[in-house]
């Protein structure tokens, strides 16, 4: 679903014309950042909205990367943080724990105890008095677009990619400061941003990148102008293909090649568009895209490379069933499927990555009446989809899928999660966005960029933590105001915000 395409007041064809026309001569130059190391110290970070931001150092995960970090920080002692007197939401339970002390060493939760834990001392040691506040896992978004969420479509169409990348870096910090410590990126050239975040050069969440979304000709990810066909052998690629936003493939062999290109770049899972969408450039939402053989080629290439999986954009019963038959493990959207298909997903253990797309103030009306009608159809489907997912106990993931909406991306990310209150208790919604989404991230198998347990507060898990002023299991809407209610934000054992002493 193209949430922000719904927001967008620009007629799609204008957007397409811009896509094809105005940014051709631009080339990405974000690699320039590596040429001039800013300093020998760990890079300082600033945040206008979160005053107490510590300078992060390179994640341990970056050290494992074949590419050397651009800036080598002096290595301080492994950070140790003690949270005293917190009540824990562990990502799974429906109630908070009794008061606990929680010790984080390096990037791992080392100890959770009702007994006193000795205070760490020395360099890199921090003690945080929880005063009975809630310690919970960092939030995870399973359907995100790091490069496309926080920029308006006409700006994307008319700006150099180097600028687009910097806007994305700014948005990445806002994503983390809203408590989202991990995102699964489902389309867009996020590899460089991910690397800079992992190296500590830029503040942002962990990113599970898909790279370019793979689409058939005329499919949901074919952003070429109407007359940009036929594609010539050895002809120039279209803008969105050159920049890695989408990749067009027709035939199992071409799909395999495009999949392997994304895997080569570091994709942790592969996204294919297996059916139409609300704002598809061409075709209807009911169109079935790719053949089963094409989808299977992607599944086989992805599983063989890293034991990872294909996630498919699909709304309708027919598109979802074809994708499942081809071995796809995750369906993104699915708002228009029928009940037997929900049952099938449950039986086969297929993940349903579902977005609370409803008609509210975050959705701007569309000018195109056809798209408006399809949007309303999906909005109606959202309610049915959540009911089916609950009834048949389908493994369900939360994702916001915000696109081209700087205000919503920067301020209203948590508010999208709070929309789940229409169908779920606060505990169920938070479990989905923490422990359950963490389980989905682990599906990346051998190419999981952040191996370790995510989305839980347990001994041995990765230390992505939020200290919340209040009890989100009673009032989920606390997450709508992270600046006020998230007192501490920790990712990978590093404190990025700490206002606990005020
Ligand atoms: Zn999306």
**Positions of E strands within 24-154:** 80-88, 99-105, 108-113, 125-129, 134-137, 139-144
Ligand 1 geometric centre to CA of 271 (Å)? 10
Strands 125-129 and 108-113, by their bridges, are unpaired
Total residues found in the chain within this entry = 502
Q: What is the mean pLDDT of each run of 10 residues along the chain (502 residues)?
A: 38 32 28 34 38 42 52 69 98 98 98 96 94 98 97 92 97 98 97 98 98 97 92 88 95 98 98 92 92 98 98 98 98 98 98 91 72 88 97 98 95 97 98 98 98 98 98 98 98 97 69
Contact 69, 62 (CB under 8 A): yes
Please state, in angstroms and rounded to a whole number, the distance separating the CA atoms of residues 274 and 287: 9
- Residue 283's region, left for phi above 0, alpha for psi from -120 to 50, else beta, is left
Ligand 1 geometric centre to CA of 110 (Å)? 36
Ligand 1 geometric centre to CA of 188 (Å)? 10
Contact 30, 162 (CB under 8 A): yes
Ligand 1 geometric centre to CA of 313 (Å)? 8
Compute CA distances 244 → 183, 235, 247, 387, whole Å.
18, 17, 7, 36
Ligand 1 geometric centre to CA of 410 (Å)? 17
Residues pairing with 180 in the sheet: 139
Ligand 1 geometric centre to CA of 436 (Å)? 19
Ligand 1 geometric centre to CA of 51 (Å)? 31
Ligand 1 geometric centre to CA of 331 (Å)? 12
Ligand 1 geometric centre to CA of 189 (Å)? 13
Ligand 1 geometric centre to CA of 143 (Å)? 6
CA atoms lying within 13 Å on the CB side of residue 244: 26
Ligand 1 geometric centre to CA of 404 (Å)? 11
Closest by Cα among 326, 206, 212, 353 to 269: 212
Ligand 1 geometric centre to CA of 43 (Å)? 32
Maximum C-alpha span of the chain? 70
Ligand 1 geometric centre to CA of 283 (Å)? 18
Contact 312, 295 (CB under 8 A): yes
Ligand 1 geometric centre to CA of 217 (Å)? 18
Please state, in angstroms and rounded to a whole number, the distance separating the CA atoms of residues 42 and 214: 37
Ligand 1 geometric centre to CA of 187 (Å)? 7
Please state, in angstroms and rounded to a whole number, the distance separating the CA atoms of residues 277 and 214: 14
Ligand 1 geometric centre to CA of 104 (Å)? 34
The predicted pLDDT at position 90 comes to: 98
pTM confidence score: 0.87
Please state, in angstroms and rounded to a whole number, the distance separating the CA atoms of residues 502 and 487: 10
Using CB atoms within 10 Å of the CB of residue 390, give its burial: 0 to 12 exposed, 13 to 18 middle, 19+ buried: middle
Residue with token string 């949430």: 3
Ligand 1 geometric centre to CA of 304 (Å)? 25
Contact 369, 412 (CB under 8 A): no
**Positions of E strands within 369-424:** 396-398
39 alpha-carbon distance from chain centroid: 30
Ligand 1 geometric centre to CA of 250 (Å)? 21
Ligand 1 geometric centre to CA of 398 (Å)? 12
Residues pairing with 206 in the sheet: 182
Contact 148, 187 (CB under 8 A): yes
Ligand 1 geometric centre to CA of 285 (Å)? 15
The predicted pLDDT at position 62 comes to: 43
Ligand 1 geometric centre to CA of 144 (Å)? 6
Ligand 1 geometric centre to CA of 326 (Å)? 21
Ligand 1 geometric centre to CA of 380 (Å)? 19
Ligand 1 geometric centre to CA of 2 (Å)? 6
SS3 sequence of 296-353: HHHHHHHHHHHCCCEEEEEEEHHHHHHHHHCCCCEEEEEEECCHHHHHHHHHHCCEEE
Closest by Cα among 223, 216, 262 to 5: 223
- The secondary structure of residue 27, as a DSSP letter, is -
Ligand 1 geometric centre to CA of 59 (Å)? 27
User: Could you tell me the domains of the chain?
Assistant: 60-138+457-498 (2.30.40.10)
Compute CA distances 303 → 244, 307, 327, 346, 379, whole Å.
22, 4, 10, 21, 34
Strands 486-491 and 494-498, by their bridges, are antiparallel
User: Which is it for the CA torsion 60, 496, 472, 116, positive or negative?
Assistant: positive
């Amino acid at each position: 679903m193209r949430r922000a395409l719904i927001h967008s007041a620009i007629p799609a064809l204008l957007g397409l014309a811009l896509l094809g026309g105005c940014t051709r001569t631009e080339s990405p130059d974000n690699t320039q950042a590596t040429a001039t190391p800013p300093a020998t110290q760990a890079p300082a970070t600033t945040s206008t909205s979160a005053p107490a931001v510590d300078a992060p150092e390179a994640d341990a995960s970056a050290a494992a990367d074949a590419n050397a970090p651009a800036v080598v920080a002096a290595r301080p002692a492994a950070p140790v943080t003690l949270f005293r007197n917190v009540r824990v939401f562990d990502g799974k339970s429906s109630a908070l724990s009794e008061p606990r002390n929680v010790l984080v060493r390096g990037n791992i939760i080392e100890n959770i105890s009702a007994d006193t834990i000795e205070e760490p001392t020395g360099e890199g040691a921090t003690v945080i008095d929880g005063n009975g506040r809630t310690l919970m896992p960092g939030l995870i978004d399973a359907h995100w677009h790091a490069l496309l969420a926080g920029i308006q479509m006409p700006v994307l169409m008319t700006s150099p990619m180097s600028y687009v990348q910097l806007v994305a870096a700014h948005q990445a910090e806002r994503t983390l400061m809203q408590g989202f410590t991990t995102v699964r990126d489902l389309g867009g050239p996020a590899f460089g941003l991910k690397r800079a975040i992992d190296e500590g050069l830029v503040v942002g969440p962990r990113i599970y990148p898909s790279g370019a979304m793979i689409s058939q000709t005329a499919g949901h990810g074919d952003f070429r102008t109407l007359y940009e066909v036929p594609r010539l052998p050895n002809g120039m690629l279209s803008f969105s293909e050159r920049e890695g936003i989408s990749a067009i493939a027709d035939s199992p062999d071409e799909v395999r090649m495009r999949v392997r290109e994304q895997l080569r770049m570091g994709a942790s899972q592969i996204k294919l568009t297996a059916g139409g969408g609300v704002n598809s450039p061409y075709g209807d939402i009911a169109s079935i895209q790719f053949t089963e053989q094409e989808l299977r080629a992607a599944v086989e290439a992805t599983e063989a490379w890293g034991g990872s999986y294909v996630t498919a954009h699909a709304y309708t019963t027919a598109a979802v069933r074809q994708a499942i038959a081809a071995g796809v493990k995750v369906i993104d959207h699915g708002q228009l499927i029928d009940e037997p298909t929900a049952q099938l997903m449950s039986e086969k253990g297929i993940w349903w990555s579902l977005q609370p797309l409803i008609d509210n103030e975050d959705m701007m009306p569309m000018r195109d009446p056809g798209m408006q009608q399809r949007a309303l159809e999906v909005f109606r489907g959202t309610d049915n989809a959540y009911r089916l997912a609950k009834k048949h106990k389908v493994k369900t993931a939360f994702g916001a899928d915000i696109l081209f909406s700087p205000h919503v991306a920067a301020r209203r990310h948590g508010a999208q999660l709070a929309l789940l209150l229409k169908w779920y208790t606060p505990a169920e919604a938070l479990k989905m966005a923490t422990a359950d989404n963490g389980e989905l991230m682990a599906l990346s198998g051998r190419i999981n960029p952040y191996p370790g347990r995510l989305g839980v507060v347990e001994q041995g898990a990765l230390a992505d933590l939020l200290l919340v002023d209040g009890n989100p299991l009673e009032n989920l809407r606390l997450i709508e105001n992270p600046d006020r209610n998230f007192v501490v934000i920790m990712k990978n054992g590093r404190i990025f915000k700490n206002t606990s002493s005020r």
